[in-house]
A and B are shown apart, each in its own frame.
Chain A
């Protein structure tokens, strides 16, 4: 039973990462039309990602932990929103909403994986003068 909790947290981390990616991708797709200035698309996408991650983070962080939800959420929401905004302003790739959502989910999962690897690298003693 003791092993279940960390596994549940790990699964939860990937699920929330995918969820933030999907919601960000969908909202950005709905808000940004092809032909919009790419810089404006990027800024709008970033702002949307920021709001999405803050809202989803607020709802889900009580279950998964504030920092563990917020840190990958910030990276997915803001940088994902920026990239999705640039893409959608150019009308490039992911022609359907479903495809855009799938790319959002993939982006979220990859960022969570990256954060977990980075955490493994950083975790541990950085100073010991005892």
Chain B
């Protein structure tokens, strides 16, 4: 377990709900739309204080993990009000003690801006995702717009101390970890992205027009 990261997010758990209040309301509809695609056994990585539980369809079985025990403690209260089953556990995304091919769906929300070794973490998700499973992500990434991207680079050393990094190439990292992109959508500028991916080895499908994807 990465104790420095654990300490950082334990500290952040006290003010987490306050700082994510606006973001939840602005991006909530996107989360709800993304989470509606979840099916089967679902893993929510970096569950935080459980703010995102309410965006899942009712009746699911969700395993929520977070590196911070303080976050998980706060999440327990919100899990109790979800109309389905949520199991919570303290786990490091880079070192999941979970058997291979355990989940049908893995969900992350603003997670891989903060995981210190993103490709290692994504490879762990790849390992615990079933071969026909799906990865659903909402992540913020570095903007490709020059003036904005440069500023994100400049501010990242500061933002890293408080929480996330601003200049991650999460789409590239997802592919490096062995996933194939199924769908990518810009939710805010080219900074907040909704990413859907599957195992790179998953069978390709033909759409109605006969185009192989």
Q: Point out residues on A near B: beta carbons under 8 Å.
A: 5, 9, 50, 54, 61-69, 71, 74-75, 78-79, 115, 118-119, 122-130
Contact = CB atoms under 8 A, between A and B. Distances in A.
Interface string B180-213: 1111111111111000100000000101000001
Contacts of B213: 129-130
B interface majority secondary structure: mixed
A interface majority secondary structure: helix
Across the A-B interface, give the 10 residue pairs with the lowest CB-CB distance, nearest first: A129-B213, A65-B22, A127-B184, A65-B26, A65-B23, A74-B151, A64-B22, A126-B184, A125-B185, A63-B22
Interface in B1-59: 18-23, 25-27
A49 to B, nearest CB: 10
Contacts of A78: 151
B181 A127 contact: yes
Contacts of A65: 22-23, 25-27
B126 interface: no
Given A65-B22, A119-B189, A122-B189, A71 B183 contact: no
B189 A118 contact: yes
A127 B27 contact: no
Contacts of B140: 67
B155 interface: yes
